[in-house]
Homo-oligomer: A and B are copies of this chain.
Amino acid sequence: MDVNKEINWITEAIESYAETSIRRGEYWRAPYTPEDKAAAELLQKWMEERGMTTYFDSVGNLFGRIEGKEPGVIMTGSHRDTVRHGGKYSGALGMLCSIEAVGALYEELGQPQKTVEVVATVEEEGFRFFSSFIGSRAIIGKLTEDDLKETDDNGMTLEEAITEAGYYHGELPKARTDIEHFLELDTEQGAIMERSGKNVGLVQSIVGLKIGKITIRGERGHAGTYPMSMRADAVPLAAKVIVDLTRWARNRNDRVACTFGNVEVSPGKTNIIADEVVITFDIRSTNESLINEAESMLKEFQRGLGRGLSLEYEVAAYDKPADMDMDGVFAMRDIAAEEGMKYMRINSGAAHDSQIIAQIAPSNMIFVPSHDGIALTPMEYTSPESTVEGYTLLKKYLQKLAW
């Protein structure tokens, strides 16, 4: 085993993989596009070069398989899509580490005990269609006919997109029942590891996430001719919601995060009292009851409203917090300690396929640092030096699970 050779291959592969998906001058690999097709073909070639048998399921997830001696599948991999204005590392680095680790283990140790599959899920980011996790939800059998009706910005349905891409022929994937363990490496997408001087993050939990919109309505009026006492101004109420929920979250010692990433005011004129404000919310915690507590604060607001004002909110998506497999975390900690790695336990504030697959199989994640905490932009970067410990841990834990 020459880990440097393996890391070199990954470092070069990151570049050639990124080159398949330059659209309008930026890295942007949306599912079911020519960019994604080129990327999938390249991954397929690399898998086959390492002796894997490859196949696509009916939504476009790509699998590279090495048959084991006994039943049960150890699955590893990540997603192959990017957001618009995306970078080269998120998703890609983990997938390439999985291909290389499985290929190297197969070469070094021959046929595994358990069947090993490397997966490159077709979609995780939720950028082209509103719902995310198309790939992993298909794997656990939770992608539905209803999901197929979702449309992208051009009005194309998911069903049309997967059909046109050649994957779909009328039947959605059934839930996999053969997966015994899932293991995913990804970049941290934050600066916690880098600031702590750690190279390997052992993910304990992936935060739950509730996102949606709050709509506050009031009464329109001219800023000059409506005295304060006659107004039902939507803007100060919206501001109060933001101030109160933020203060509540700040007092909870980083166990919950509230983000109000967008505010839209109608009609949005300097001299018009607004009659509508729409605020997006994004509430995250590894503790489900804190997420519920935030929501109950919104309900509380609905009670004490002034004349002419209303507040409604709509939850667009709720992913419950997902615990990673504790036995896996301990096993990885033992390996990391033995190898003298700089490791830490960490929670993931971002969403990952692992939280979906955790619904049907024990799942674990390994984080590598993202430089300056930058993620999902062309600037994201994880150096080869920062990758080596995470890659080694991935390989050693896969060996333990499958060989």
A residues in contact (CB < 8 Å) with B: 188-192, 207, 209, 211, 221-230, 233, 235-236, 238-240, 242-243, 246, 249-250, 252, 254, 256-265, 267-274, 277, 280-282, 284, 348-351, 373, 375-376
From B207, B222, B264, B271, give the contact of A211 (CB < 8 A): B271
- Give the chain B neighbours of A191 by CB distance below 8 A: 225-226, 230
* A1-B260 Cα distance, complex, nearest whole Å: 64
Quick check: A225 and B373 within 8 Å, CB to CB?
Answer: yes
Contacting pair A250 B228 (CB below 8 A) = yes
Q: Find A207's partner among B209, B224, B263 (CB 8 Å cutoff).
A: B224
Q: Return chain B residues, CB-CB under 8 Å to A223.
A: 257, 259, 261, 282, 284, 349
10 closest pairs, A vs B, by CB?
A190-B225, A224-B349, A239-B242, A223-B259, A239-B239, A227-B254, A224-B350, A236-B246, A262-B268, A270-B280
Contact between chains at A225 and B349 (CB < 8 Å): yes
How close is A48's CB to chain B, nearest CB, in angstroms? 35
Question: Chain A: interface secondary structure?
Answer: mixed
Chain B residues contacting A240 (CB-CB under 8 Å) are 239, 243
Bound-complex Cα distance A269 to B84 (A): 12
Complex Cα distance, B375 from A149, in Å, reads 44
Given A224-B284, A243-B243, A373-B225, A270 contacting B211 (CB threshold 8 A): yes
Residues on B with C-beta less than 8 A from A226 are: 190-191, 257, 349, 373
A-B contact pairs, 5 of them (CB 8 A): A224-B351, A235-B259, A238-B239, A243-B243, A259-B271
Contact A260 B284 (CB under 8 A): no
- Smallest distance from the beta carbon of A331 to chain B beta carbons, Å? 25
**Shortest Cβ distance from A229 into B: residue:** B254
Residue of A227, A246, A267, A280 contacting most chain B CB atoms (<10 Å): A227
